[in-house]
């Protein structure tokens, strides 16, 4: 019996030691869906965005790691954190503020993320672009430390 308890405890410990929660927050998507996606005129586009395989791409780039955010997700992460996932008012406010931002912040005439969504476009790029894994930043070569010259 003692051996069984030990094995059970080790198993539970191993599970929690290796468990990694996803960075995507379902409450963020649920709020986005309710406040924006369901209100779109283009129901076919809304259904495409809402597919399980696609919906993460509203904020994320690629499918391998949820740490990779696209432009919209990056802006969203500046306004709200996972810790606020149970605060629907803050989620709604952050979504509203991000969707009102210009796709190109330097161009005051560029469309907003919401304009793109209403025009049946993905807010942060095309579906094909969003599905691509981001390029890993190239590691810069380390400069060799100069060895002091030793005079004979």
Distance CA 92, CA 44 (A): 24
pLDDT value, residue 135: 81
Low-confidence residues in the chain, pLDDT < 50: 15-23, 138-145
Given this model, what pLDDT does residue 22 score? 39
Q: 35, 95 in Cβ contact below 8 A?
A: yes
pLDDT tens digits, residue range 91-121?
999 999 999 999 999 999 999 999 999 999 9
DSSP code for 139: P
Whole-number Å distance between alpha carbons of 12 and 136: 34
d(CA 16, CA 12): 6
The answer to whether the beta carbons of residues 122 and 130 sit under 8 Å apart is yes
**pTM of the entire structure?**
0.70
Asked if 92 contacts 86 with a C-beta cutoff of 8 angstroms, the reply is no
CB 103 within 8 A of CB 119: no
């Amino acid at each position: 019996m003692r051996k069984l308890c030990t094995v059970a405890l080790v198993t539970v410990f191993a599970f929690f030691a290796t468990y990694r929660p996803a960075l995507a927050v379902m409450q963020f998507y649920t709020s986005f869906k309710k406040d924006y996606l369901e209100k779109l005129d283009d129901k076919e586009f809304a259904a495409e965005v809402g597919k399980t395989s696609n919906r993460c791409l509203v904020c994320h780039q690629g499918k391998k790691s949820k740490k990779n955010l696209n432009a919209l997700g990056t802006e969203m992460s500046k306004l709200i954190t996972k810790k606020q996932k149970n605060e629907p008012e803050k989620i709604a406010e952050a979504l509203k503020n991000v969707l009102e931002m210009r796709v190109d912040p330097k161009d005051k005439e560029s469309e907003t993320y919401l304009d793109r969504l209403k025009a049946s476009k993905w807010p942060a790029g095309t579906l094909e672009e969003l599905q691509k894994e981001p390029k890993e930043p190239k590691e810069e070569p380390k400069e060799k430390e100069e060895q002091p010259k030793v005079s004979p």
